[in-house]
Amino acid sequence: MKHKGTTALFRYWDRLRGDRPAPRRTEIEPAEIKALLADTFILEKDARGEAIFRLAGTRLCATYGRELKGYAFPLLWSRRDQRIVSRHAYSVFHYDAVVAITFEGRTEGGKAAPFEMVMLPLSGDKGSPRALGCIVPAQKPYWLGADPVAENRIESLRIVDPVRERVLLSGLPRIDGPPLAPDQLDGATDGGRRIRHLVVFDGGRED
């Protein structure tokens, strides 16, 4: 994991679990990860054994152009990758696996952007297993959030050793993935207001 959102969620999850394979789902406190909530999701298993979204953050829903609650998780992925993500979601649910995936999100028009995702197990009722995760864009193309991502295509997938990852993350720099919504930054440049890579100057035509 390289990006700020995925590593921050992993660290929170890792702190909660202590020496256990996973924290209990009742231990997750949204107020403690409020900066991550827009990119965060919770998966559960439906009656068919398929992973579906129980909850999904607002930026995720905007990225995919739909309300994700109740939506089948594998359907976000290409047909080639659906069986792979289903199998690994099952491993998270039943074997406390930690899964990190880098992937390319593509629109119906062929635009593409890189993303990173992590899925983390939550312990609780064995009849209704759940997983905590987040999806973070590695870049912020101009169209993201306006032109929905129609399909995810896996680029790399890794089963994470949480103890080893804890050590690695303590010594590696993180790459900040940009937020979806434009944020106005403090400070001015020669009288202008900076918004991301642009500088906006007040004024206009006078008749």
Q: How many CA atoms lie within 13 A of 104 on its CB side?
A: 8
Q: Please give the pLDDT value at position 172.
A: 52
Its sign, for the CA torsion 192, 195, 199, 205, is negative
Contacts of 108 (CB under 8 A, 6+ apart): 148, 150
Average pLDDT over residues 36-65: 95
- Residue-wise pLDDT tens digits, 89-101: 999 999 999 999 9
Q: Please give the pLDDT value at position 171.
A: 57
Average pLDDT value over all residues in the chain: 85
How wide is the angle at C-alpha 73 spanned by C-alphas 6 and 174, nearest 5°?
10
- Name the token pair of 107: 């629109």
For 4-180, give the CATH class: alpha beta
Q: Please give the pLDDT value at position 131.
A: 97
- Residue-wise pLDDT tens digits, 57-72: 999 999 999 999 999 9
Q: For residue 205, is pLDDT > 70?
A: no
Region class of 142: left (phi > 0), else alpha (psi between -120 and 50), else beta: alpha
Q: For residue 32, is pLDDT > 60?
A: yes
In this prediction, residue 185 has a pLDDT band, given cuts at 50, 70 and 90, of very low
3-class DSSP state of 203: coil
- Residue-wise pLDDT tens digits, 124-182: 876 789 999 999 999 889 999 899 999 999 999 999 998 887 777 665 554 444 444 43
Model pTM above 0.85 = no
| Domain ranges (residues) in the chain | 4-180
